[in-house]
Structure 1
Amino acid sequence: MTSENHAPVSVIGLGSMGSALAQAFLDAGHPTTVWNRSPGKADKLLASGATRAATVAEAVSAGDLIVICVLDYQAMREIVGSAGDALDGRVIVNLTSGTPEEARETATWAAGRGVRYLDGAIMAVPDMIGGADTLIFYGGSKAVCAAHASVLTAIAGGGAYLGEDAGLPSLYDVALLGLMWTTWAGLLHSLALVGAGGVPASAFLPYAQAWFEHVIGPEIPVIAGQVDQGVYPDADSALGMQAIAIEHLLDASRAQQVDAGLPQFLKDRTEQAIRRGHAGDGFGSLFEVLRRPSGECPERAEVCRN
């Protein structure tokens, strides 16, 4: 009899991420069965002690917990659905990337087949899988997540359960990626701006790092609190004044022949917020424009502000 500490796991999908997941389970001592459309991708894992399943049904039948990471949700449903009755009563942890809507639809699809379902979003690259600080978001049945939490720590010590809504992991995923990309884009625009003036990125770097540490970082919880409260105090820098500074950024970008798309975006949204009556509010009031571009309350919003 296998103890919970070494419960069997099946991994379906052996791309770079799926292979890393399977290896992490093996490293943690879990008997691991693997399946992939191209069987050859399992060879390295077999050398580490994995068992190759000839069919999806065989992989699903090898243990109670099935972890899948494939191209998209459609592929996931096609692959898993081919297991037929073998699915009944199994637990599927779907770590395939997609949208919140796809995750919710797949949770309903799984429930109709007698599957206990968790959706997840991996906030890491393959080399980080198995790390103590690696983060994976989970959403779906709280009881299922709790029952398999100790096994799932093999792939991510920083697993976070977000709630019964299976769409939340994907939502957090795209939101954090959006934060990353827009932050990087802002940094690259800044480097392009000073670079056009003959300043090397390395010379500007210490000031950019200090700006993040002492100005931008501390404001994150402040702005988040303002958003939750729907109140945006100006903190001695009202949006009307910010609009003037943004105009300077736009003019400087054009003068330096740097792409002015980002400052133009800021200028347009700032002016929109001012037209809505936020001239005396702080920069956080741009949330109202981003959340409601048309000025109307979105259908899914719990609270309509202003």
Structure 2
Amino acid sequence: MASQSITFIGIGNMGLAAVLALLKSDSSITIWNRTVTRPQVQTAVGAGAVLEEDLGKALSKSAMVFICLLDYGKIRQSLEAIRASSPSVLAGKTVVNLTNGTPRQAREMHSWLQETWNVERYFDGAIMVTPQMVGGPHSFLVASGEDEAAFSEPSRLLSPIGNPQYLGPDIAAAARYDLAALSTMYGLFSGSFIGMALLKRSPNPSIGKIVKESIVPFLTALVPYIGEIATAWDEERWEDNMGNPVLMQLEGVRNIVAACEEEGVDSSFMTNLVNLMEKVVEQHGGDAGVTAVGKLLLKD
């Protein structure tokens, strides 16, 4: 297959990892970054990417543009700076935005790029692994927008970064998926920090061994339980406690909060969960399942 030219905007840690993976394919990569002196930029150039310091010129080099900046505001700021000098530089092009953002930002960026810049195709997306994992066997990314047929060429070009997964025509789907996955991860981190803080209050505050050898396997065994909760939510099985009544779980969480108060650990990550579980008990009884906590988060 013929070589494809790609312009990649944003060479931070993730952008560099993506560019290095892309350079292993048959694509020629033009890069642009707001700060050209960043070590990541120099590393990308050393690996074979072509640095273009002028954003308008960088965008003019390719019909396929990948963006990976800090946030959506930086995208607008960067493009607005060249709008007067290069008003048609994105006309007819395909843009794949790998910047982390919200569903609303994805929708607004889609409209802005099409209406103001006359972009032909816009896909919102996210790389779903850390920079160290990009290009590896477990690396994958998600994208949404347009239709699956239109995504075939971007999918092929993105594949060196990770396995591309198309989530459908809803432009906000990838952002929603990305934040849902990150929320799950940071929820795990939140509880983990409380647990590790409690362990740090012990007479022997060395926690690495017990976390790695005992708590991590415990969490790993519980991960499938999250999937069961999701299925129960889909089916509105609020009374199904899966052998773990919500009142029993509530007592456990209350004890975590009490222990934090006793041991001098901030329990604020947990207090909202206590409040929600108490509402479930009020609405469905103590024998209900914890799944009903989820629906309480929806602001109807």
**Letter in structure 2 aligned against 1:26:** L
Consecutive unaligned residues of structure 1, counting only runs of 5 or more, are 298-306
Q: Normalising by the residue count of structure 1, what TM-score does the alignment of the two structures yield?
A: 0.84
Matched, 1:154 2:160: yes
Moved more, 216-225 or 51-60: 51-60
CA distance in 2, matches of 1:204, 1:73: 37
CA apart distance, 1:153: 0.6
Match of 1:260 among 261, 264, 267: 267
Consecutive unaligned residues of structure 2, counting only runs of 5 or more, are none
Matched, 1:280 2:284: no
CA apart distance, 1:205: 4.6
Match of 2:139 among 119, 134, 139: 134
CA distance in 1, matches of 2:298, 2:291: 12
Matched, 1:56 2:55: yes
Matched pairs, number: 288
Corresponding residue for 2:68?
69
Kept after mapping to 2: 8 A contact 1:273/1:288: no
Q: Normalising by the residue count of structure 2, what TM-score does the alignment of the two structures yield?
A: 0.86
CA apart distance, 1:54: 4.8
Kept after mapping to 2: 8 A contact 1:87/1:114: yes
Paired-residue identity, %: 27
CA distance in 1, matches of 2:96, 2:269: 39
| Deviations 1:174-230, CA, capped at 9 Å, x for gaps | 22222112212212222322442435422465332332233x123122111011111
Match of 1:17 among 8, 14, 17: 14
Match of 1:170 among 151, 172, 175: 175
In structure 2, the residue corresponding to 1:163 is in which secondary structure?
coil
Matched, 1:231 2:237: yes
Cα distance, 1:288–1:89 mapped onto 2, change above 3 Å: same
Kept after mapping to 2: 8 A contact 1:60/1:86: yes
Cα distance, 1:255–1:78 mapped onto 2, change above 3 Å: closer
Corresponding residue for 1:290?
297
Higher helix share: 1
Kept after mapping to 2: 8 A contact 1:234/1:280: yes
Corresponding residue for 1:270?
277
CA distance in 2, matches of 1:88, 1:234: 55
Cα distance, 1:231–1:129 mapped onto 2, change above 3 Å: same
Kept after mapping to 1: 8 A contact 2:280/2:290: no
Kept after mapping to 2: 8 A contact 1:11/1:21: no
Superposition pairs for residues 192-203 of structure 1, below 5 Å?
192-198=197-203, 200-201=206-207, 202-203=209-210
Kept after mapping to 2: 8 A contact 1:69/1:95: yes
Corresponding residue for 1:221?
227
Match of 2:90 among 74, 87, 91: 87
CA apart distance, 1:66: 0.8
Kept after mapping to 1: 8 A contact 2:33/2:53: no
In structure 2, the residue corresponding to 1:164 is in which secondary structure?
coil
**Letter in structure 1 aligned against 2:281:** I
> What is the aligned-residue RMSD (CA, Å)?
2.3
CA apart distance, 1:161: 1.3
Moved more, 63-72 or 250-259: 250-259
CA distance in 1, matches of 2:267, 2:27: 53
